[in-house]
Structure 1
Amino acid sequence: MSEEPVIEAIADQPSTKKDRVRKIAISLFNFGKKHKLALAITSVILLIILAIYNVMPTASIGDLIMINLDTTVKIKLGQTAKLKYDDVSVSINHFINDPCPADKTCFGDGQFADYKFTVNGKGYYANSLITANGGGYKLSTISTDYTTYTEIKLTKTSDN
């Protein structure tokens, strides 16, 4: 009696790329059927988190503050404000707080915050005394104490 070789193990393995893709797709479909409640809950939670992220004007991640356009944000030395959906960022280089004495006449203002303002990797000069324009964006200083923080606002310019 002649025995034929057992080829069941080989038959279970997909032989072509199409067969492998089909087998993976069937496995994913079966996984989805088996765990549909868990997948639905996870999807809803992720959608809620995404909606909150989009609606909130700012989101802090360590020293990085993600902001929406046209939002006033308070940043401190060492922090960076970055637009959520564009490559635009602002950080404070340093503060100058050397006011002119009341009984003296001084040239220029000795109180300002110096910024690092970048748009798409290109740096633009900016400080709290001027409204800086660069790369289609405008950086405005709302307020500052010249020692610890500034409140800024990023907007699009009319040429963008």
Structure 2
Amino acid sequence: MIKIRTASSDDAPVLASLNGIVHELHAGHRPDLFIGSPEQDVLEAFFVARLTDPSVTAFIAESTDGRTLGYAQARVVSWDSSALVRSDLVILLDQIAVVPDASGMGVGSALLEAVREVGREAGCRRLVTEVWDFNEGARAFYDTAGFRRMNVRLDQLL
């Protein structure tokens, strides 16, 4: 069984550690954008700062014996309208990671549902996230979870 709990700033060391699961993949594919090995104290301070933001919620997934299985971090964001687009209230999934030996056990789905519930309670209309093109595992996870492509971000070195 998987237990999902809301993270607090006391969980910053755990979140910083879990972040390494995805960060290593990102740094390996895009070393021009991602720091190879972020300092643990800097990462912890990052998570403490994020968790003091009232728009941010983080969750930690644990097994019944208390083993940490993954985390998710999301924030409620209000998008302003313009002459071309409607305003919107969305929940942005900024980060999600599952420990490799818990992959396929429903941890990611449970974390995603916790994020959806925060969005529903906040009155959000949609859950939005981004995924790097090289992250085939995440793309497959989001496809299975019912996400659809909204846009594609491109970059070019100058």
Fold equivalence (TM over 0.5): no
The structure with the larger Rg is 1
Determine which structure has greater relative contact order: mean sequence separation of CA pairs < 8 Å that are 6+ residues apart, divided by chain length. Answer: 2
Richer in helix (by share) = 2
TM-score (norm 2): 0.28
TM-score (norm 1): 0.28
